[in-house]
Structure 1
Amino acid sequence: MASTNVRNEMICCICLNLYTDPVTLICGHNFCRECIANVLNADYRCPQCRANFGQRPVLQRNITLNNIADHLRSREGSEILCMYCIETSMVASKRCLLCEVSLCDNHVAVHSTSPEHILIEPTISFSKRTCSRHNKTFLYYCTEDAECLCASCMLAEKHHGHQIHLLYVAYRQQKENLKTIQGHAIREEEIEKRIQYLQALLKCITEKAASIVDKVSLQFKDLRMKQDCVESSVLNEIGKKQEQVSMPVINLINQLDIKKDSLSKKLATIQELEQMLDPLLYLQAHKDDLMGVSDQNLNETEASLYEDLYEVLSEDLSEELIGTVNSDIVTIMSDLQKGYCVQEASGITLDVNTAANDVHISDDLTTATWSNVNQCRLENPQRFAILGVLGTSGFSKTRLYWNVEVSKEGGWRVGMAYASISRKGKYSLIGNNKKSWGLRSFNKHYSVKHDQKEIPLACRPSCYKVRIHLDYTAGLLSFYELGDSMMRHLYTYNATFTEALYPVIVVWANAWVKVLN
């Protein structure tokens, strides 16, 4: 009995539990530090004797009470005892929020069963269940403010006209809502099925890509074989032509050698005749050897041989060989174009009806220039509000590229966009939405942007020509920088296009962009 009385003296009158870090007020009453701190936040009065302190009192820690409370708590463990059991200490099984008491099973059975008496699991700390302003238990719930209320809070002006329920009613409604949401939520099995489907799709994409790679490799292997055949054929033809041209030259050389030998013999005979002094013998000697030794006969023979050689050499060997090579190369390129060559889009012009009033369009409809002078064009739903302009024609189911020349100064964006792109505000700019993909240059830096996600590029502008390359079917949109000697790849987007894509340009800060046709 004495033990029970001691324990009752160690109960905080606010939370009705054993003291936790007890403190003493000037009036001599003791409370849990957290409990009395919440009360003093609203009123500088003792909740037990109602003594008015005028100002917030200093809380003095009561070491003796703290030690006794710790001793009782260690002896009782974490068990919360029934507050109605006097003779014997029974463990509480429930706590009533309205009465703020802990009850054992026997006392719960005889406790009021009205809805206001909400029973919860027993707890040591009750401070979180009381209103810090009014020091009253939370019994109600405001659905509009999603806030728990005590009886005083419910009457406050802040919640006037709001839909307010008892805690247990709001609790049950929230539980029902959770069940409804859970019923509509995707189950784990369905998620697993979706994962399996996506994995199968990924495998299919990988296999399809591998198949295309094999096909491309075979086609290029075939093209290399055809190229080797052309090279071999041309080299053989050159050998034949060389032999054809060389034979007359060799024959002419042989004839000249024979003529040379004949002339040598005749010159020797002439020298012998020059040494003869007898006129009769001179005239009768070797007259047969002197026949046909005249200079005119010799010159005519040589002239005939050189004429034959000129006729052979005059055949245009290079033209014939080049014609053969060109014919075979045309065949190879035709095969290549069937699957892989991309055509340049010709005749791209800018649609003035879409141009913003701060963008000047050239007379030939190929150049967009930022202007600080309002162009005063008529309003229409297709016109951009700021900085942009679309091309007149869209592209789908095709492979193509188009080139632009850009200014050294200012800022610009070029790319492709759906015709359904927004025309108002900053979200109409290239890359600031899901319906456009663009390359951006500003302050000598490149970046690409789509769906408001901007990716800075490591490379800096090195020239002032850009290529936009579209493979609609494959879902590829690439950007290149066109130098004088080479083309540098900047970035490639991989997407699934669902509408025709139109060229789109954005310019600001004295920038300009010209479409090169």
Structure 2
Amino acid sequence: MSAANYLLTEEQLWCCICLDVFTDPVTLPCGHNFCRSCIIQHLNTDPQRQCPLCKEPVEKKYKLGVNTFISEMAVQFRHWKSHQLLGSVGEAAESMCTEHDKPLQLYCKLEQRPICQSCAASHHRYHQVVLLEDEYKEKQTILGSTEAKIQEMIWQRQLKLKELKHSVELSEEVMDGKMADGVQIFTTLIQFLEKAQVDLIRMAEEKQRVRKQRAQSIIVELEQEIFQLMRRRVEVEQLLQCKDRLHFLQSFPSVNAAPPTRDWMDLNICPVRYEALTRTAMISAVNQMTELVRNEMKKLQDEEILDIRKYAAEVTLDSETAHPALVLSDDGKQVHCGEAWKTPAKNLKRLKPVIYVLGKQSFSCGRFHYDVQVKGKTDWTIGVAKGSVKRKEETELNPENGYWALHLRDGNEYIALGSRAIPLSVNYHLEKVRIFVDYEEGVVSFYDADAAILLYSFPECSFTETLYPFLSPGNCDGGRNSDPLIILTANTT
């Protein structure tokens, strides 16, 4: 153990005025540090109020607050110096067995403590006993590995912190660009849409404020974890330098354990999108809109349909979640209800008693869509579901239970499964349905994939966990509903 093991060296903890370790250290605007009493006395006697080292002036209004970080390091350094002086005195006494007054040269693996030869021959006779030196080397190797793991954890969190800060900057750039597009539209409609324009800016700024506030909270938590891990690394480094075997082994359990941290690797950092804000603001003013406004809305809708196509996801079905009555194709793209139920092995992932299946792919950020061919069927249900939905009991399919779905019954009755069944005005037979999800915006929309017509949207979903595609082909109905649901390949639709 040495002073070099601290984050600051002995020289950096030294006040150049009193030539001693800092007491209540303060930092001047120039960055130099001094004891608070020393620098106050110096500034009071110096007419020009200059830093003793660099001569930079210090204004009278500058508040000399104690630098708590350097103060804590100075306290630790004093403690270390005291321990260094007392260590050599107590080392000889601590290395002797208090019961037999013999050197502690052995180590009991069972009781995890040093022992002497007499201890080993008596009440430790049937325990695993090794040389103290061998145990010291083994534990030192383990602690070295712990240090490497902690360093890896620090690196991973620093990387995640960098990604998160970049995401905040990127979201601000995206907001600026999208807001410019929205404002350009409203400049031609200022008399009709002034209120909508104000609402648009307010909603965008509020969304960014909430996003930035959440990100800042995570940043603070990450920085705190990094600081705690760095402190633990210092403790590990100090202990690795310790030559006092007994002190080393006594301190090992507490120092070897990494401080409690959160698993940040599943944290997804996705850019916030603002397109929907412009659409929402325009819809709020629809009663005041002229033919020109309707034309602008048509343009935005056309752009959105084109934009959705960029987010096609390749989806396949997960046979481990399929109800026993369902039959899946080998490629996981088709599903229909069989005439006889299978008896599969017990599986906690399997859905029962509801006759449907989940997709293998999961989504927890961004946008995605997948298309399903429903041609020739009289009954089906398709949509997305939370990964935490109840799988072993009858559950009503609605957003409250983690489902956002569209349902066909009796061959011609299309229903959105909200908190209550919502009949849709669809007077023709759909052949392909597109399910589109914007995770950050909290929107699930269903489209006629052929005609690019919106069938229904679930707004304000506020997703907080992973989503999975889910499909139910319905019962065979005596062969009238035997055609499969087919998930279309993303690059061909």
**TM-score normalised to structure 1 length:** 0.34
**Using CA pairs below 8 Å that are at least 6 residues apart, which structure has the higher relative contact order?**
2
Q: Tell which structure's C-alpha radius of gyration is larger.
A: 1
